[in-house]
Structure 1
């Protein structure tokens, strides 16, 4: 696994950016950079299970199974990935999962007064490095735009 880092400064207060990033409707907007059907099911509460989902070209639900390892409102979110959704079914062991199991996706929110610095640290494997380097900046730019409205 390689740790990738991305960040953006958003011209909006930290509580607004935090709510925009995690809100059901706004989450779907900024994560279109990864998948146009991107969504989540579950809770952002610490210890909760959460599914990050999308619909594949065959119309089947797929995605990641994760746990919210930490949630400090307006400061930090840590997501621990431990499985995948395959055709809507949870898979937590086997070759398809081994590549991701135990990877983290962490968000840090720094209050800069009327602005917010969002830092993203994400674990990934070699095959997704180029994809993440393209998708994450786009996603953060969308987050910036919808947070600043």
Structure 2
């Protein structure tokens, strides 16, 4: 698989603490994860070293680990496999292809606002659709954070 990196950013008029809540708290992240597909959830506590499963309503998606978690600053998810019908898979060819993909969230203060930037490794085949989904997700994260 050929990989491309999605890189997007948005300026949010809210403190980093509120943005962090929107990223990490289930009651908020379900509202922006839906941009990637119906019923998408993040099954993780977002603490460094914790397992992270990102799944849709069919319980399929990506499996990884929270590689780095610095509250109000940065989260790095390292993908290690896939999930199919609720079963984690780290051995199949498809799972091995995901191994090493990273997703990074960075929060940087910019005056009275915070710049939230994301980068995400993506198979070239899905790049355009996923980049568009990330733009929508960031807009939703901005809306949620500014109204929290």
Q: TM-score, normalization: structure 2?
A: 0.93
What secondary structure does 2:32 align onto? Answer: helix
Q: Distance in 2 between matches of 1:40 and 1:4?
A: 19
Contact 1:99 1:125 in 2 (8 A): no
- Of 86, 89, 100, the residue aligned with 1:88 is 86
Q: TM-score, normalization: structure 1?
A: 0.93
Contact 1:14 1:109 in 2 (8 A): yes
Contact 2:35 2:137 in 1 (8 A): yes
Q: Calculate the aligned-residue CA RMSD, in Å.
A: 1.1
2:60 maps to: 62
Q: Runs of 4+ in structure 1 displaced over 2 angstroms?
A: none
- Of 44, 47, 52, the residue aligned with 1:45 is 47
Pairs aligned (count): 145
Q: Distance in 2 between matches of 1:132 and 1:98?
A: 20
Q: Distance in 2 between matches of 1:96 and 1:28?
A: 26
